[in-house]
Amino acid sequence: MKPRGIDFFCYSVRDIHASADFYKNTLGLTGETWCAPGWVEFAVGGTPTVLALRSAPEQRGADPRGHSGAAAIAVDDVEQTVEELRRQGVPIVLEPGEQASCRAAGIADPDGNLILLHRRNDGTAG
């Protein structure tokens, strides 16, 4: 695995619209992009790194472990990285899939924390 940078950090929130309003209007984050229902991203400074908010697991019916945050590590090839880590015995908790702006998969660290393996469609990282 060859990490290229952190593409985003994500928080699970109870009320996605209230939280989006807070980050936009109270904290002044810009570049609000709704990537999917229950998922919004904001620009952070002049970097390609974004802060993402997602509807809490109980709202989405997913991620039963209840993770509140996830880092997205940029990689060149999501599938190749998943296969490399699978051979090493790393738990794959989300198989590679296409999202609105990226290709992503999920693994678990030794404590069960979610780490997303991520490749933006535009090729940028970090």
52 vs 32: CA distance, rounded Å:
10
Q: What is the pLDDT of residues 108-123, one digit of tens each?
A: 887 677 889 999 999 9
Handedness of CA 11, 83, 125, 111 (dihedral sign): positive
**Domain tally, the chain:** 1
What was the pLDDT predicted at 87? 93
Residue 78 has pLDDT above 80, yes or no: yes
pTM score, two decimals? 0.70
**Is residue 125 in a domain?**
no
**Residue spans of beta strands (DSSP E) within 1-126:** 5-13, 30-36, 39-44, 47-55, 69-74, 92-98, 102-108, 114-120
CATH number at residue 113: 3.10.180.10
**Candidate from 49-63, 70-84, 85-99, 108-122 with smallest mean pLDDT:** 49-63
Q: Give me the domain span that covers residue 55.
A: 5-120
